[in-house]
Chain A
Amino acid sequence: MSQFFSNITKLTGLPFNEITSDFKVVYLGGGSVFISNYVKIIIYNTELIALKVKANVLNIEGKDLMIKQLSRGEIIVDGKINKIYLSKELS
């Protein structure tokens, strides 16, 4: 299946994650992280923000975390980010 999508991305020139609806995490530096194609927010507090991404959970741990921008499919989290990791279930 992944070979099929890979061929499509080559043909169309579109990013792989856009076609497959896979999430993308970009650490922007200066304490910001951009996540696209997330499904929903599971946990929100100043120490942890957990997002459901496909079958996994993306955890962002840190201090004074805040949501800089929130829209459908895109979120920017700001603050002193210590750890970004994936887990099958909630940590």
Chain B
Amino acid sequence: MRKWFTQSSYHIKIEGNNFVNFFNVLIKNNIEVYNVKRSEVGVLEVVVLQKDLKKITTVINHLGFSITVLNILGFSKLINGAKYRIGYVVGLLLSIILLILANQFIFNYKILGTENISITQVEKCIENFGVKKYTINSFDVKDLEQYLSNNIDDISMVSVIKKGTTLIINIKEKLPDVGSDFQPITAQFNMLITKLDIFAGFSSLQVGDSVMKGDVLVYPYVFNSSGEIVKCTPVADIVGKVWFCESELVVKKEIVFARTGKTIKNSFYTIRDFVFLKTNNKNTFTHFEVVEKTVLVSNIFLPISLHTTTYFEVIEKTINRDIEKEKDNITSKLIAKAKTQVPTNILIENEKVIISNYDDKHIISVYLEATVSF
């Protein structure tokens, strides 16, 4: 930082003639001056350090110059200002003290991440630790974190932050205890149960029932003679029929739009939002398709992009589809598609093709039948 600003300095006005002589006297007396400005003829404005002010006054008087202090600069100005504005200084100090004091208070708790733990339980625990609302609290957040995790069982992790007058408690709860030994038997596919022999466990299903994928087939418990639940590992022999199916809708009369080959093109270049070289050809087609494309032409200095809009003329065509001709082709495609759903360890026992007619539509459905066991 500049010397004349960091130290206390004076902006002075010197009036007289032959300033060259004045400068040389300053040099001789080892006086430093800054920002020398000739404001008008016979008037010179300079900045001089406080320590040199007395020296300069003595020297100037000998030369017959007059000196006037225009302004005080640097830190002395601040100090001088504070002397005459004691009310402001006191107000500022009081505000700082109040701000520091207010930060010691806690007006609000913000408890996040709770699902099973009740907020009141956490709040009580905080108060038991000694942190109370609307009072001055001085505590270590680490200690509070430790206290909360020790006193609330379901807490897996907790972090406490004091933000202004709010205490933010972020809780991560423990995951529910899932016993790995007692898992139910669930359906792996949508299926029809053909055999159900239960050796251990409980099920409300019977042969002939249909189940969806993920449904519980056998629960991991049994009832004892007094009707109480006793946990166990379910063991059962379950066989079911599964169908993997695919279908396609075939419309007898289909309307398609074919391009005639006639096109109308419009394009323009852009540099960011600036548009130039724009063509404006009118689209005269009654039926058309629109294809819009943007290509970055150059990105050396500025990104130049070319935007093109192409209108393709299309005509309506009616296609009559012969189901008898296409049937085999579609069926083999559907079978191949349905086979992709079948896991490798399952053998397909039967294939079924059903063609249903609805007015001008056909629905071709393919079913692959297989038996699965658990």
Check if A and B associate: yes
Within 8 A of B (CB), among A46-65: 46
With contact pairs A45-B38, A46-B38 given, residues A70 and B30 touching in the complex (Cβ less than 8 Å): no
Q: In the complex the two chains form, is B32's CB within 8 Å of A43's CB?
A: no
Chain A residues near B37: list those with CB within 8 A. 66
**A35 in contact (CB, < 8 A):** no
Instruction: For the complex formed, measure the closest distance between the CB of A81 and the CB atoms of chain B, giving whole angstroms.
Output: 16
19 contacts between A and B (CB under 8 A): A40-B24, A41-B20, A42-B20, A44-B23, A46-B38, A66-B35, A66-B37, A67-B23, A67-B35, A68-B35, A68-B36, A69-B32, A69-B33, A70-B26, A70-B27, A70-B34, A71-B27, A71-B30, A72-B28
Q: In the complex the two chains form, is B38's CB within 8 Å of A70's CB?
A: no
Instruction: For the complex formed, measure the closest distance between the CB of B5 and the CB atoms of chain A, giving whole angstroms.
Output: 13
Q: State the CA gap A67–B35 with chains docked (Å).
A: 6
Q: In the complex the two chains form, is B23's CB within 8 Å of A70's CB?
A: yes
Which A residues are closer than 8 A to B by beta carbons?
40-46, 66-72
| Chain B residues bordering chain A, tally (CB within 8 A) | 16
Q: State the CA gap A44–B17 with chains docked (Å).
A: 12
Chain B residues near A72: list those with CB within 8 A. 27-28, 30
Q: State the CA gap A72–B27 with chains docked (Å).
A: 5
Chain B residues near A67: list those with CB within 8 A. 23, 33, 35-36
Q: State the CA gap A45–B40 with chains docked (Å).
A: 11
Instruction: For the complex formed, measure the closest distance between the CB of B104 and the CB atoms of chain A, giving whole angstroms.
Output: 49
Q: State the CA gap A67–B22 with chains docked (Å).
A: 13
Known: A67-B36, A71-B31. 15 other contacts (CB 8 A): A40-B23, A41-B23, A44-B20, A46-B38, A66-B35, A66-B36, A67-B23, A67-B35, A70-B23, A70-B33, A71-B30, A71-B32, A72-B27, A72-B28, A72-B30
Q: State the CA gap A71–B31 with chains docked (Å).
A: 6
**B189 in contact (CB, < 8 A):** no
Instruction: For the complex formed, measure the closest distance between the CB of B28 and the CB atoms of chain A, giving whole angstroms.
Output: 8
Chain B residues near A66: list those with CB within 8 A. 35-38
Chain B residues near A41: list those with CB within 8 A. 20, 23-24, 27
